[in-house]
A and B are shown apart, each in its own frame.
Chain A
Amino acid sequence: MSRRSRPVDFSWGGYLFVLPNFIGFLTFILLPVLASLALSFCSWRILRERSPSFVGFANYAKMLSSSEFWYYTYNTVFLMLGIPIGMMLSLSLALLLNRAVRGIRLFRMIYFLPTVTAGVALLVLWLWIYEPLYGLINCTLAEFGIEGPNWLGGGINLQFLQDWFGIDPMCYFAKPSLMLMGLWTGAGGYNMILYLAALHGINPELYEAARVDGASAWQRFKSITWPMLSPTTFFILIMSLIDGFQGGFESAYVMTQGGPAGSTTTISFQIFQELYENDRIGSASATAWFLFLVVFILTMFSWRLGGKVVHYD
Chain B
Amino acid sequence: MTSASANSPDRRWRTVQQVLHRGMFYLVLSVIGATMVLPFLWMLSTSLKTGKGAVEIPPTWIPRQTTIFANYGGREVKVSLLKKTAAVRRLDNGQAMSVYAQALKTRRALFSGQESVYASLRQENATVRVPVEVLATTARVRILEDGPDHERVVDLPGDQLIVRSKVDPQWSNYPTTWNKLPFGRSYINTAVVTIAVTIGQVLTCSLAAFALARLRFPGRDKLFLGYLATMMIPGTVTLIPVYILFIKMPELLNAAFHTDLFTSDLYFLGKYYIGRVAGSNSYFALIVPGLFSAYGTFMLRQFFMSLPRELEDAARIDGCGNLRIYWHVTMPLSRVAIATLATFTFMGAWKMFMWPLLILNTEELVPLQVLLQRFQGQYGSEQHLLMAGSIIVLLPLLVIFLFGQRYFIKGIQLGGVKG
Contact = CB atoms under 8 A, between A and B. Distances in A.
A142 B238 contact: no
B223 A18 contact: yes
A281 interface: yes
A117 to B, nearest CB: 5
A245 B55 contact: no
Contact of B234 (A13, A14, A291): A291
A126 B291 CA distance: 32
Q: Could you tell me the dominant secondary structure of chain A's interface residues?
A: helix
B412 interface: yes
B67 interface: no
A304 to B, nearest CB: 15
Interface residues of A, number: 95
Interface stretch (B70-78, B147-155, B350-358): B350-358
B393 interface: yes
A121 to B, nearest CB: 4
B36 interface: yes
B123 interface: no
Contact of B211 (A18, A116, A133, A145): A18
Contacts of A18: 207-208, 211-212, 223
Nearest to A193: B412
Contacts of B239: 32, 271, 275, 288
Given A93-B32, A118-B351, A124-B390, A21 B297 contact: yes
Contact of B244 (A8, A46, A299): A46
Question: Which of A8, A113, A142, A299 has the most B CB atoms < 10 Å from its CB?
Answer: A113
B394 A117 contact: yes
B271 to A, nearest CB: 29
Contact of A33 (B38, B55, B233, B417): B233
Contacts of A111: 32-33, 36
Contacts of A9: 214-216, 316
Nearest to A40: B240
A258 interface: no
Interface in A97-129: 97, 101, 103, 107-114, 116-122, 124-129
A197 B409 CA distance: 9
Given A145-B107, A288-B240, A128 B316 contact: no
Interface stretch (A22-30, A63-71, A212-220): A22-30
A253 B237 CA distance: 19
A164 interface: no
Interface residues of B, number: 98
B322 A190 contact: no
A32 B292 CA distance: 14
Interface string B230-273: 10111111111111110100000000000000000000000000
Contacts of B373: 120, 124, 253-254
B368 to A, nearest CB: 8
Contacts of B22: 101
B383 interface: yes
B241 A184 contact: no
B29 A121 contact: no
Contacts of B196: none
A292 B230 CA distance: 11
A87 interface: no
Contacts of B389: 121, 124
Contacts of A292: 233-234, 237
B408 interface: yes
B405 interface: yes
Contacts of B33: 107, 110-111
Contact of B237 (A14, A32, A117, A122): A32
A101 B25 CA distance: 10
A9 B320 CA distance: 12
B54 A246 contact: no
A128 B412 contact: no
Nearest to B216: A10
Contacts of B232: 242, 295-296, 299
B193 interface: no
A119 B42 CA distance: 17
B387 A108 contact: no
A7 B243 CA distance: 43
Given A124-B376, A249-B354, A17 B25 contact: no
B311 interface: no
Contact of A96 (B29, B40, B236, B416): B29
A134 B190 CA distance: 32
A268 B413 contact: no
Contact of B55 (A134, A197, A289): A134
Contacts of B242: 27-28, 32
Contacts of A188: 32, 36
Nearest to B28: A96
A221 interface: no
Interface string B194-226: 000000000111011011101111001001001
Contacts of A158: none
Contacts of B216: 6-7, 9-11, 14
26 contacts: A11-B215, A13-B323, A21-B204, A24-B291, A28-B242, A28-B292, A29-B238, A32-B239, A46-B247, A96-B25, A96-B29, A109-B405, A112-B408, A116-B398, A117-B40, A119-B397, A122-B390, A125-B39, A127-B376, A128-B386, A133-B57, A188-B32, A194-B413, A197-B413, A242-B234, A291-B237
Interface of B: 22, 25-26, 28-29, 32-33, 35-40, 42-43, 46, 54-59, 107, 203-205, 207-208, 210-212, 214-217, 220, 223, 226-227, 230, 232-245, 247, 288-289, 291-292, 294, 297, 313, 316, 322-323, 326, 347, 350-351, 353-354, 357-358, 369-370, 372-373, 376, 383, 386-387, 389-391, 393-394, 397-398, 401, 405, 408-409, 412-413, 416-419
Given A143-B58, A196-B413, 6 more contacts: A12-B217, A18-B208, A18-B212, A96-B29, A112-B408, A194-B412
- The 3 residue pairs across chains A and B that have the minimum distance between CB atoms: A24-B292, A17-B211, A21-B208
